[in-house]
Amino acid sequence: MKKGFTLIELLAVIVILAIVALISVPIVLNLINDAKNESDKRSKELYLHAVELAIAKKNLINQFNPTSCTVESNGNLTCDGAEENLIVEVSGKKPCKGTITIENWNIVSEDIGYCDGSNPDDEMQGDEPQVPPADSFENDDWATIIANVKAGTTDKYEVGDTKEVTLTGDSINGTYTVRIANKTDNEDGCGTDGFSETACGFVIEFVDIITTHNMNSTATNVGGWESSAMREYLNVIDEKDGSGTIYNALPDEIKDGIKDTKVISGHGSGDTSGTATNNNFETTDKLYLLSPHEVWENGSSNQITYDTAWENTRQLDYYKGQNVTTSSYGGAIKKNTSNSASYWWLRSARSTNTNYFYSVTNDGEWNFNFATSTVGVAPAFRIG
């Protein structure tokens, strides 16, 4: 006669299995964690070794002896402010930010980070940085948005999403709306030499005009965006002398996340030399105005031919999604503080004269105005 297990015996077996699981699961998880930490630490060691090899190789070619290098988003380095990147060839995970200090071709210190939110040294100490979960651009605070942009976890944020921002300053106060104007970071020239960063990466622009201002106090575009009073009005950072500027009116939590941006802008006929290719101007700014190509693509019957920096930038994702061209331009309309469509400034000078900068009309078409004109201001900036 066959005899099965009693209920008590079955319960006893279940209890024993549960106890075994409670003991073994943490052990297995710790083993997995240790293996990951060791792998990350090894990746960092390999990367730093590859950096020293790259420096030594470059030194053999042209006596390269840097003292400080900045880690770019692709893991390559910019050393001592050189324009040409130092290529670091290594398999495995690369850092995407930070600095490395070098003495006599050897690394003496480093502070590097990884865009997946990890840092091998922190992980070895059991203190892995945490990225707060994203909900939406409208609802998340700026610290959460900036952390997720830096970590590359922006699936919850879509181009065109909006959020309110309160500005507090001597010359501008009030609550305004901003939107995500761009997320693309590696298309149409982004990341190449001489290409403007203003439509690359996570770009935010003011939906409408926040104030009005002239481009210059005199009717000249000589010196372009680089020398303009408008650029200073947007960007002066000194708290004592620049308290009236747009940058200083921004909330601190936004300023903490704004990236320095390489800005390429076109020149007028009075400029015979510039700081970039084709006599264009190259600046580094926190806030900037858009350029013609960042708003429109050329339409067949109406083309912009006198912006010398047209090929040095690309159309922002938002305006591309709105199908904005020089023949179909309703999506470029911005309203003033009275809720009426109005002109707003662009940063490029018009190359056929010495006194005009480009602008957007109240129906969204391209035009140009004297530098002394009082026209709408709708800045943009990048975070990350």
Residue 17 lies in a domain: yes
Rounded to two decimals, the pTM is 0.67
Query: Are both 222 and 248 inside the same structural domain?
Result: yes
pLDDT reading at 269 higher than 70: yes
pLDDT reading at 36 higher than 70: no
Percent share of the chain, pLDDT over 90: 52
pLDDT reading at 369 higher than 80: yes
End position of a domain, from candidates 95, 124, 153:
124
Residue 24's pLDDT is: 66
End position of a domain, from candidates 97, 124, 151:
124
The C-alpha atoms of residue 379 and residue 344 are separated, in whole angstroms, by: 10
Query: Are both 191 and 92 inside the same structural domain?
Result: no
Residue 130 lies in a domain: no
Query: Are both 103 and 151 inside the same structural domain?
Result: no
Residue 35's pLDDT is: 61
Query: Are both 118 and 148 inside the same structural domain?
Result: no
- What sign has the CA pseudo-torsion 333, 337, 342, 344? negative
More confident residue, 276 or 232: 232
Residue 123's pLDDT is: 43
Residue 86's pLDDT is: 79
- Residue 330 is part of which domain span? 142-382
Spatial neighbors of 132 by CB under 8 A, at least 6 apart, are 143, 144, 147, 148
Query: Are both 119 and 148 inside the same structural domain?
Result: no
Residue 134 lies in a domain: no
Domain total in the chain:
2
The residue type at 235: N
